[in-house]
Amino acid sequence: MNKFFNDLIIVLLFGLFAAFLYFYIPSPVKTLHQRVSQSSPLNLNQDRLDLFKQYGNFVMDKLPEKTPKLYFYWLSAQRKLADLRVKTVVNEIKSTKVQEGKLKIWSLLNMGVVIKINQHTIAIDTANLPFSQAHNELVEIVDIFLVTHLDGDHFDASLLQKALAQNKKVVFLDGFVFDSDKPENIIFLSSGTDKTLDNLKITAYQTDHRGDGNFREANAWFVIETEGFKILHTGDGRDFKNKDEEKKVYGMKDIDVLLGNIMIHPYNVRDLSPRLYVPLHLFKFMSGKELYQESTIEAVLNIHQQYEKDLKSIEKIYLLPGEGFTYPLN
């Protein structure tokens, strides 16, 4: 009996220690979070550039070269910073009132964004990290969830099931496999077709995944039109399956906001001609240090400077996780 109680005490102590490691937020995480919260994404000044460097160095510290092991997400400062940023922005989304004729966009993690207008709140590619529940409150405040493809940093089955249980709408490209008890709340769009929900028009276009030429799996670009605004979100897509649809999208020339993966070539951004370009899939630490270094804002700025002539007429905003802006900008 004594051995049983001794073992039980050891298990309890280990559990308390593991919980402490999970919930404890080191002061450097709090300090960096506070500095980001005090920065304006609309001012690309030296302080802002220094913040990009500080954020990038922080996330890269102790990051493994390859894909992190699962326990990394329990212990790491990266996950704790990401959770803190996401929880902060969720609270901001809750309290933000958007005037008619405007919209507000927040960046979460990777390609995850929330778009809020006067009548709707839309989430695209929002997904929890392993051992994280930071995005879960979105099910209370988001009306419509869009998912571009199946990758775990874009698609979160548990989160979507919670949203569907609250009668929220979920939109996929046709061919996406997802089972639910509420199929009536799931919308599958064929490539090139659209669906209007109240005053919100959503069109899906089939692409491959990062230029891999694979059109067998569902990958989508989404065009969202509402209240006179047109927003394009590219997910991880690059090349179109249907070249006529590709011509149609590139021929629009009236895109207000391009929420584009940083892998999209500056020539493609130029040809899309958005009024505002927001590069996303930044600070992707989930694949390890080797790929992470390509996803810093500094790396993206360096590429954009090389193509300055092609992008000079397009306004750009570089967002850290958890930051947002109101559009139109003035």
Average pLDDT over residues 5-19: 76
Residue 46 pLDDT grade (very low, low, confident, very high; cuts 50, 70, 90) = very high
Q: Which residues pair with 200 in a beta bridge?
A: 197, 226
pLDDT at position 74 is 95
Written as one letter, the residue type at 92 is: E
Written as one letter, the residue type at 22 is: Y
**Is the predicted pLDDT of residue 18 greater than 90, yes or no?**
no
Kindly state the percentage of the chain with pLDDT values over 70: 99
pLDDT at position 1 is 62
**Domain count along the chain:** 1
CB 83 within 8 A of CB 73: no
pLDDT tens by residue, 139-164: 999 999 999 999 999 999 999 999 99
The residue among 260, 285, 151 whose CA lies nearest residue 214 is: 151
Helix segments in 227-296, DSSP class H: 243-250, 266-272, 289-292
What's the helix, strand, coil split of the chain in %, to 5? 40, 20, 40
Residue 88 pLDDT grade (very low, low, confident, very high; cuts 50, 70, 90) = very high
Q: In this structure, what CATH number is given to the domain that contains residue 50? A: 3.60.15.10
The pTM score is 0.96
Measured torsion, CA atoms of residues 50, 51, 54, 56, in degrees rounded to the nearest 10: -110
Average pLDDT over residues 49-60: 96
pLDDT tens by residue, 236-294: 999 999 999 999 999 999 999 999 999 999 999 999 999 999 999 999 999 899 889 89
Residue 299 pLDDT grade (very low, low, confident, very high; cuts 50, 70, 90) = very high
pLDDT tens by residue, 167-176: 999 999 999 9
For residue 218, the enclosing domain spans: 2-327
